[in-house]
Amino acid sequence: MNMLEVFVSSLEEFQPDLVVLSGLHMMEGQSKELQRKRLLEVVTSISDIPTGIPVHLELASMTNRELMRSIVHQQVFPAVTSLGLNEQELLFLSQAASGPHSSLSSWNGVPDVGMVSDILFWILKEHGRSKSRASDLTRIHFHTLVYHILATVDGHWANQLAAVAAGARVAGTQACATETIDASRVSLRAPREFMTSHSEAGSRIVIDPSRPVAEWHREGVSFHFTPVLVCKDPVRTVGLGDAISAEGLFYSEVRPHY
């Protein structure tokens, strides 16, 4: 966060294909005034990033609802192109900003796919790009232990199937510290069937083992779901979410008109 302005000023020389940011959660210990001031500076810095370079924001666990609300509403979400987050961050975000299923105090076991889908859809509909809103946000990569979902606004991204599958694959290899998936060391714990929504009449999806990435669409938003082969005896878990998001981004294709 301290180096953000210096970093942004070097981008013209560096010419990156993508910028990945994180660390907003580190402001939890700061005063409200400092948080507000710094978030405005963050948005200004992000808007200085040359047009055409996508910006991915990786969220992290927070306990301060006001800070999360500020991140959502103080133009941070519309300033970034892509978000990465887990089930704790997703529900906390919805609770802080009065989104769908915000009355839920916590997930009961595996996060319900339909509920997760509703919240992802709400974020993109409320804060993502649309004909009436000049927002850059068009992509969210959600990851939980047993499955991942990639939600994208139609027309801005390609190769989502490979991206979400690659993120799931690296979760298994990184946690087990193996080069490839070792079938004897992983288990499949994702739901075999689920509803795609609870706030409207969603469809029921049954996972086909031969084509495990499921896809559905809702009002201009595409969802790609994949089960994760979960490492039974994990060796490396630090930075797992970062590895998942990075791998998914590596396989994602930004549409040229972006």
Question: Rounded to whole angstroms, how far apart are CA atoms 128 and 125?
Answer: 6
Question: Rounded to whole angstroms, how far apart are CA atoms 25 and 102?
Answer: 20
Side chain identity, residue 161:
L
Asked if residue 121 lies in contact with residue 200, where contact means CB atoms within 8 angstroms, the answer is no
Side chain identity, residue 167:
G
Asked if residue 136 lies in contact with residue 129, where contact means CB atoms within 8 angstroms, the answer is yes
Torsion over CA of 244, 128, 212 and 162, rounded to 10 degrees?
-60
Helix, strand or coil, per DSSP, at residue 184: helix
**Closest by Cα among 73, 87, 84, 82 to 115:** 87
**What Å distances lie between residue 184 and 37, 238, 241, CA to CA?**
51, 22, 23
Helix, strand or coil, per DSSP, at residue 204: strand
Catalytic residue among 17, 136, 208, 242: 242
Token pair recorded at residue 68: 């999360």
Asked if 242 is an active-site residue, the reply is yes
Question: Rounded to whole angstroms, how far apart are CA atoms 238 and 43?
Answer: 28
H/E stretch holding 36 reads: helix 32-47
Which sequence positions are flagged as catalytic?
242
